[in-house]
């Protein structure tokens, strides 16, 4: 499972998910993540097996791409939208860690 945590853009990335102040908001399994990459929702530069970070600008781009392509009803996209919506509501970026 790839776990996603809220992390403000101005906070230096942690090397571990339990850093003080990081809140776990959910995750994506490998099938869902690869499905999103195949649909060109998640850019190819992000790997399921590597930790990564999305700032608020990238989260907005992902959200806009989904809306423009009208993919909100796709099962995989719905799971991603839950994470993106929480990040946008909290005006926060996301960092992902595989477990």
Q: Where are the beta strands (DSSP E) in the chain?
A: 2-7, 23-28, 52-54, 93-98
Q: What is the pLDDT of residue 98?
A: 86
pTM of model > 0.85: yes
Q: How far apart are CA 90 and CA 88, in angstroms?
A: 5
Q: How confident is the model at residue 15 (pLDDT cuts 50, 70, 90)?
A: low
63-92 tens-digit pLDDT: 999 999 999 999 999 999 999 999 999 999
Share of the chain above pLDDT 90, in %: 84
Q: Phi, psi (5° rounding) for residue 24?
A: -70, 130
| Residue matched to tokens 């649909």 | 39
The pLDDT of 23-42, averaged and rounded, is 96
3-state SS, residue 54: strand
Domain ranges of the chain: 2-98
Which residues have CB under 8 Å from 52's CB, separation 6+?
A: 46, 95, 96
Q: What is the pLDDT of residue 13?
A: 64
Domain 2-98's class?
Answer: alpha beta
pLDDT at residue 16 greater than cutoff 70: no
What is the residue-averaged pLDDT of the chain?
Answer: 92
Q: How far apart are CA 35 and CA 7, in angstroms?
A: 25
Q: Are 62 and 80 in contact (CB under 8 A)?
A: yes
């Amino acid at each position: 499972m790839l776990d996603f945590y809220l992390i403000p853009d101005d906070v230096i990335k942690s090397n571990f998910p339990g850093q003080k102040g990081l809140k776990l908001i959910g995750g994506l399994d490998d099938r869902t993540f690869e499905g999103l990459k195949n649909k060109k929702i998640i850019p190819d530069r992000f790997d399921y097996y590597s930790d990564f970070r999305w700032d608020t600008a990238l989260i907005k781009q992902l959200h806009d791409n989904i809306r423009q392509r009208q993919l909100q009803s796709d099962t995989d996209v719905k799971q991603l939208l839950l994470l993106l919506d929480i990040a946008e509501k909290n005006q926060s970026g996301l960092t992902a860690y595989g477990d």
